[in-house]
Amino acid sequence: MSFGRKSGAPSSSSPPPPPSINPTAPQAAPALSPSVTAHEKNEIPLDHLEAPQVEDNHTPAPEVDSMTALRLQRARNRIWSDLRDGIDLKALARMEGKAARDEVQTAVEEIARFRNLDLTPAELAQIAKECGDDMLGYGPLENLLSEDGIADIMINGPDTVYVERKGKIQKTDIKFRDNQHLVTICQRIVGAIGRRVDEASPICDARLPDGSRVNVIIPPLSVDGACMTIRKFTKEKLTLEKLVGFGSMTPSCAKLIMAIGRARVNVLVSGGTGSGKTTMLNCLTRYIENGERVITCEDACELQLQQPHVVRLETRPANLEGVGEVTMRDLVRNCLRMRPERIIVGEVRGPEAFDLLQAMNTGHDGSMGTVHANNPREAISRMENMIAMGNLNIPTTAVREQIASAINVIIQVQRLRDGSRKVTHVSEITGMEGEVVTMQDLFVLDIVGEDEHGKLITKQRSTGLRPKFFDKARAFGVEKYVLDAMEEAYG
Listed ranges 41-49, 176-184, 274-282, 287-295: which one lies at the site for Mg ion (CB under 5 A): 274-282
Quote the least distance from Cβ 311 to Mg ion, whole Å. Answer: 20
Nearer to ligand ATP, 281 or 357 (CB): 281
Three-class SS state of 374: coil
Q: Print the binding letters for residues 231-250 with ligand ATP: x by CB under 6 A, - otherwise.
A: x--x---x----x--x-x--
Q: How far is the CB of 347 from Mg ion (least distance, A)?
A: 6
Q: What one-character DSSP code corresponds to residue 455?
A: P
Tell me the closest approach of the beta carbon of residue 214 to ligand ATP, in angstroms: 12
d(CA 353, CA 376): 16
Using CB under 5 A, which of the segments 133-141, 154-162, 237-245, 277-285 binds Mg ion? 277-285
Lay out the site mask for ligand ATP across 269-298 (x = CB under 6 A, - = otherwise).
Answer: --x-xxxxxxx-------------------
Closer Cβ to Mg ion, 150 or 183, answer by number: 150
Q: How many residues can be counted in the chain?
A: 491
Checking DSSP bridges between strand 456-462 and strand 436-450, what pairing results, if any?
Answer: antiparallel
**Which residue, 328, 369, 366, 313, is CA-closest to 346?**
369
Q: Is residue 77 near ligand ATP by the rule CB under 6 A?
A: no
Cα–Cα distances in Å, from 307 out to 259, 270, 347? 17, 24, 20
Whichever of 152 and 484 has its CB closer to ligand ATP, that residue is: 152
- Asked whether position 157 contacts ligand ATP by CB under 6 A, the answer is no
Q: Is 278 in the site for Mg ion (CB under 5 A)?
A: yes
In whole angstroms, the minimum distance from the beta carbon of 30 to ligand ATP comes to 26
H and E: helices and strands count for the chain: 16, 15
Cβ contacts of residue 21 below 8 Å, gap of 6+?
76, 80, 127, 130, 131, 133, 134, 139, 140, 177
Distance CA 391, CA 403 (A): 17
Partners of 458 in beta bridges: 447
Q: Which of 118, 14, 140 is nearest to 73 (CA)?
A: 118
Task: Give 123-167 as a DSSP string.
Answer: HHHHHHHHHHHHHHS-GGGHHHHH-TTEEEEEEESTT-EEEEETT
Interface pattern 408-447 for ligand ATP (x via CB under 6 A): -------------x--------------------------
Residue 151 contact partner, candidates Mg ion, ligand ATP, none, CB within 5 to 8 A by sort of partner: ligand ATP
CB-closest chain residue to ligand ATP: 276
Q: Which residues lie near ligand ATP (CB under 6 A)?
A: 151, 231, 234, 238, 243, 246, 248, 271, 273-279, 421
Q: Which residues lie near Mg ion (CB under 5 A)?
A: 278
